[in-house]
Amino acid sequence: MKIPGDLGALLEQAQQMQQNIANLQAELEQKTVQASAGGGMVTATVSGGMKLVQLSIEKTVVDPSDVDMLQDLVTAAVNEALRKAKEMMKEEMAKLTGGLPIPGMS
């Protein structure tokens, strides 16, 4: 079955875009962002693939009598790093797609 020229070209462009998105996702897996809380006492590093890759906690913030504070600092640092990773992904996708939203990528 032969596909008409315009439709064939459109399908080819869609396939190329799909490949470009897959390549970008692989690149983003290698990039990381960091965020910290408590004046740098807790630092979270997250990949562009939205995975926590490192968590650093200064010894001085570890207080057995105040576990709640440490939990709050870890949560804040991880959430901020995830937010930054999502923003990085969004910016890189916008460059690739010319700002067109891609379902499942926002």
Helix (H) or strand (E) holding 26: helix 5-30
Domain boundaries, the chain: 5-97
Could you report the per-residue pLDDT of 41-88, keeping only the tens digit for each?
A: 999 999 998 999 999 999 999 999 999 999 999 999 999 999 999 999
**Residue 41 to residue 1: CA distance in whole angstroms:** 63
> What pLDDT shows up at residue 82?
96
Overall CATH class of domain 5-97: alpha beta
